[in-house]
Structure 1
Amino acid sequence: MKLEQILKKKIIIEELFSIQDVVRWVSSCFSMSNLWYGHGSDNPWDEAVNLILPILGLPPYIWNRVYNSRLSIKERKIIFELVIKRIKKRIPVVYLTNKTWFCGYELYIDNRVLIPRSPISELINNKFKSIISSHNHPKYILDLCTGSGCIAIACSYLFPNAHIDAVDISLDAINVVEHNIQLHGLENRITPICSNLFNKLSKYTYDLIISNPPYVNKKDISFLPKEYSYEPKIGLISDNKGIGIIEKIISMSPFFLKKNGILICEVGDKMINIIEKYPDIYFQWINIKNGGIGIFKMENK
């Protein structure tokens, strides 16, 4: 049976009752569609789980505890409509649910900010093992190009005695950050700042700067899957073939780090470009086990 016929039959509403039944049906529909998985999942099943459970007000990681639960007709109708949008409009799941989880912490997300997916999450989950000394917790942290504030919020839980500045050039992004700070009750721990990189910041302030800046070449944006077209271009694109913002961060960060302070920066597929651009700088490239490349550490000696 073709996908169009399956969708017209509205089987999800009429014949499926449990969460598991619906996830199985939705993942089958996704498998038959030309979807891109890269905003939180990498396969149709996880994509279906990440759509359905947040709509029910549940985090995806409690799947094993709820999969036999029955859904109301109203819930099934809502899910059906979102499945149609995901397939026909190619809207990323997170923009349909307005929820995601980064390092286990819930965030509000809409299309004013990129969908969190940075492999920096692995470093946070591992407590920056072998990157930051376990006896030297940073007291002042800068999350540069913060987007949704996901890194700032996760770091606030990891370093409960630290104060964090969450900086972004986009006022829209800062508004989302403020929402997420309030969601976690971190108003006294995280300060959102609308600034073009370091422009509004004080020098020699931070023990740790973490940045996941834009690094997509403008010419490459048209070749990305349609799902990326829903994300704000200001969070994706950088000049000078994608490394313009990274260059500014590398050149300016020493003036905003304390002595022996650390810069951790994600550059993704621009790793080779950065190595070639700065042959005299020692970059410690961090091994990422769960997928992802191009995160370096620099110390301010």
Structure 2
Amino acid sequence: MFDQAKTQFSTVRDLLRFAVSRFNEANLFFGHGTQNAYDEAAYLILHSLHLPLDTLEPFLDARLTRDELEGVLHILERRVNERLPSAYLTHEAWLGDFRFYVDERVIVPRSFIAELLREQLSPWVEDPELVTSALDLCTGSGCLAILMAHAFPNAEIDAADLSPDALEVAKRNVADYALEDQIHLVQSDLFSALEGQTYDVIISNPPYVNAPSVQALPAEYLHEPELALGSGEDGLDATRIILREAPKHMNPDGILVVEIGYNRDVLEAAFPELPFTWLETSAGDGFVFLLKREQIT
């Protein structure tokens, strides 16, 4: 079918209709930046043609060169046949207005903490300029560390991850934003290589998928590093270590912000003594918690 398209199609409109049909026919999963076949198709087509990602209508009836047509169809065919997340096909992911390089060494950025950093963690951080030290634990592509650097311009930021491959991707993103002097990449299994370091703000989007959910993940997720997804039978192995070790690394009045997916009920049952504050995000208030240092110790 893709071979036929090379000889029968000529416009962006042709490609868009074809892509939506093929994506729906293949029952692709969407959740790495888009939520439906139309948006995913539009993104891949516009990106492949080096067109503005937010401007489709003026180009719908533009006729493509043969090379352009074959290039777009190639990336659409890979999306269907390999079930690769689009971010791995285009090597880019977006959090708001921030673009990041990604490949299969890191999970595709999609943290709710990004939304909170746009507001500089207000009201929990009263004066962003007074934050002088911060940590992004399980940094992956480095995206949240970069957002922290913009939210807290006076902060020295450590960005830690167990995976040396992930840190190579983070290094590229940090360089793209010219933040090498502010963000320091550290290979560390959670806090293990951060002995003696303390911070005003610690954020973490650790692995949190429980074992049954890992087994049921759509094919698209299976291209992501397994190390960055699963965290034990109930999804809380990494979070337990963070809660145990974080107080030693928090300055007085320091805060800890952690994303835990759909594990709120399990977490609250496991730590009934902790007064979690659940932060409001676009998906609700059950995905990211905040604790102050004095609430954990």
TM over 0.5: yes
How much does 1:170 deviate?
0.5
Q: Kindly state the Cα deviation for residue 282 of structure 1 after the two structures are TM-superposed.
A: 0.6
1:57-136 aligned at under 5 Å gives the runs 57=50, 60-61=53-54, 63=56, 71-134=64-127
Choose 53-62 or 242-251, whichever is displaced more.
53-62
Query: What is the CA–CA distance in structure 1 between the aligned matches of 2:117 and 2:64, rounded to whole Å?
Result: 35
Give the stretch that moved more between structures: 160-169 or 227-236. Answer: 160-169
> Does the residue aligned with 1:34 lie in a helix, a strand or coil?
coil
Distance 1:10 1:112 in 2: 33
Residue 227 (str. 1) matches residue 220 (str. 2): yes
Q: Which runs of no fewer than 5 residues in structure 1 stay unpaired?
A: none
Show CA shifts across 1:85-108 (max 9, x none).
111221111111111112311111
- 2:5 is matched by which residue type in structure 1? K
Q: Does structure 1 residue 171 correspond to structure 2 residue 167?
A: no
Aligned-partner Cα distance in 1 for 2:215–2:123: 38
Aligned position for 1:162: 155
Closer/same/farther in 2, CA of residues 111 and 172 from structure 1, 3 Å limit: same
What does residue 44 of structure 1 align with?
37
CA shift for structure 1 position 130: 2.6
Structure 1 residue aligned with 2:5: 10
Q: Which residue of 1 aligns with 2:48?
A: 55
Supply the distance in 2 between the matched residues of 1:116 and 1:65 (Cα, whole angstroms).
30
RMSD: 2.2
Q: Which residue of 1 aligns with 2:257?
A: 264
Q: Contact 1:122–1:290 (CA<8 Å) still a contact in 2?
A: no
Say yes or no: does 1:294 pair with 2:287. yes
CA deviations 1:123-146 (Å, max 9, x no partner) are 122332333224664221101001
Distance 1:127 1:59 in 2: 29
Equivalent-residue separation in structure 1 for 2:61 and 2:251 (angstroms): 53
Superposition deviation, residue 70 in structure 1: 5.4
1:239 aligned partner: 232
- Identify which range, 254-263 or 282-291, moves more after superposition: 282-291
Aligned 8 A contact 2:141 2:167 in 1: yes
Alignment partners' CA distance in 2, 1:41 and 1:163: 33
> 5+ unaligned residues in a row in structure 2: which ranges?
none
In structure 2, relative to structure 1, the CA distance for the partners of 1:277 and 1:83 (3 Å cut) is: same
The DSSP-based 3-state class of the residue aligned with 2:31 is coil
What is the distance in 1 between the residues matched to 2:75 and 2:128? 48
Determine the C-alpha separation between the residues in 2 that align with 1:291 and 1:56: 36
Aligned length: 294
SS in structure 2 opposite 1:269?
Answer: coil
**Structure 1 residue aligned with 2:245:** 252
Per the TM alignment, residue 50 of structure 1 is displaced from its structure 2 partner at its CA by 2.7
Equivalent residue number for residue 274 of structure 2: 281
Relative to structure 1, the CA distance from residue 64 to residue 147 in structure 2 (aligned partners, 3 Å threshold; closer, same or farther) is: farther
Per the alignment, residue 191 of structure 2 pairs with: 198
> 53-62 or 272-281: which moved more?
53-62
User: Is the 1:141–1:207 Cα contact (8 Å) retained in structure 2?
Assistant: yes
Alpha-carbon separation, structure 1, partners of 2:165 and 2:211: 21
TM-score relative to the length of structure 2 = 0.91
Q: Percent identity?
A: 35
Moved more, 138-147 or 202-211: 202-211
SS of aligned partner of 1:166: strand
Shift of the 31–163 alpha-carbon distance from structure 1 to 2, 3 Å rule, reads same
The answer on whether the counterparts of 2:128 and 2:152 sit within 8 Å (CA) in structure 1 is: no
Contact 1:285 1:297 in 2 (8 A): yes
Cα distance 1:283–1:51, how it changes in 2: closer, same or farther (>3 A)?
A: same
User: In the alignment, residue 201 of structure 2 is paired with which amino acid?
Assistant: L
* Contact 1:203/1:257, CA 8 A, preserved across alignment: no
For residues 126-173 of structure 1, give each alpha carbon's deviation from its aligned partner in whole angstroms, at most 9, with x where no partner exists: 332333224664221101001111101122122222221110001110
Task: Tell me the distance in 2 between the aligned counterparts of 1:124 and 1:61.
Answer: 24
Report the TM-score, using the length of structure 1 for normalisation: 0.89
